[in-house]
């Protein structure tokens, strides 16, 4: 028996087989969870290809996270199909390319608004809709993906760092709001990974080299590491863990300077 037998989950953010959200989905499914997925626009084919080969019974639903109507439709369908919800995975982020590579002082108002809406407010919007479905199941687990650039300056991460800082604060306030309903809310601050979204970050290859040189464990993480941690956070073993931003980066975040 898996640690998540009988649990249901909704996954936002799968783009392809390298996606963090897909690594999480694979681990949750392996532990017995029944899952539903969303996609936006051109990602439909990728998501359907992955799910049809691995989870053919999983609902796959369209959703633009900036649309309240789309979010309403997704959570309504998931509630009807699953009879509630136990797990919500938020792996959604966006900032215009020019706001990642340029100077923060030059970020446009429109770019700032879009990054905060898609990367941070979407967690609040999803959690609001997940709450009544999780109450039907006696509680639940919400997990959001973040990165160290929310806490420290990472050149090339720029606007996304500001958006992730808002996301992490949202995690803490949502943990307070939803705790009485037995809903945990946590964030995973993962080390750099080779994903589709990582291509937009400047100096990404240098980041991998730096982690191997400086992190206490002298290695980079893999997508499967995040899946393992997410499964733990969704299980009863983490029932009293909430409001946390957990760093999963081979210890890189503890370092102040590189090796001497």
Active site residue 157: yes
- Radius of gyration of the chain from its Cα atoms, rounded to whole angstroms: 18
Residue with tokens 């464990």: 217
Cα 39 from Cα 65, distance rounded (Å) = 10
Q: Please, which residues bridge with residue 190 across strands? A: 248
Q: Are strands 245-248 and 183-190 parallel, antiparallel or unpaired?
A: parallel
User: 39, 94, 121, 147: which is the annotated catalytic residue?
Assistant: 147
Q: What are 105's two structure tokens?
A: 């002082």
User: 39, 121, 157, 173: which is the annotated catalytic residue?
Assistant: 157
Active site residue 147: yes
Q: Render 220-240 in DSSP notation, one character per residue.
A: ---HHHHHHHHHHHTSGGGTT
Strand order in the sheet with 34-39: 60-62, 34-39, 8-12, 87-90, 140-146, 183-190, 245-248
Query: Which of 27, 87, 47 shows the shortest CA–CA distance to 196?
Result: 47
Write out the H or E segment, with its range, that includes residue 135: helix 122-136
Write out the H or E segment, with its range, that includes residue 23: helix 20-30
- 116-139 burial: b if 16+ Cβ within 10 Å, else e: bebbbbbbebbbebbbebbbebee
Residues with a catalytic annotation lie at: 147, 157
């Amino acid at each position: 028996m898996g640690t998540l037998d009988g649990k249901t989950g909704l996954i936002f953010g799968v783009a392809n087989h390298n996606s963090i959200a897909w690594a999480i989905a694979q681990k949750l499914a392996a532990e017995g969870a029944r899952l539903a997925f969303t996609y936006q626009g051109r990602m439909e084919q990728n998501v359907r290809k992955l799910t049809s080969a691995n989870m053919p019974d999983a609902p796959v639903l369209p959703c633009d996270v900036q649309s309240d109507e789309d979010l309403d439709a997704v959570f309504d369908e998931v509630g009807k199909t699953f009879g509630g919800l136990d797990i919500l995975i938020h792996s959604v982020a966006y900032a215009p390319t020019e706001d990642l590579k340029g100077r923060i002082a030059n970020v446009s108002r429109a770019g700032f608004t879009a990054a905060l809406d898609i990367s941070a407010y979407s967690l609040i919007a999803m959690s609001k809709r997940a709450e009544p479905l999780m109450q039907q199941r006696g509680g639940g687990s919400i997990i959001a993906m973040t990165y160290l650039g929310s806490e420290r300056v990472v050149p090339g991460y720029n606007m996304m760092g500001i958006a992730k800082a808002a996301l992490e604060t949202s995690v803490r306030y949502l943990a307070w709001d939803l705790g009485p309903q037995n809903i945990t809310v946590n964030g995973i601050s993962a080390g750099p990974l080779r994903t589709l979204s990582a291509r937009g970050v400047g100096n990404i290859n240098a980041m991998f080299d730096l982690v191997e040189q400086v992190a206490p464990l002298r290695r980079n993480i893999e997508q499967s590491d995040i899946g393992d941690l997410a499964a733990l956070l969704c299980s009863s073993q983490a029932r009293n863990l909430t409001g946390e931003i957990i760093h999963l980066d081979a210890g890189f975040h503890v370092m102040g300077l590189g090796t001497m």
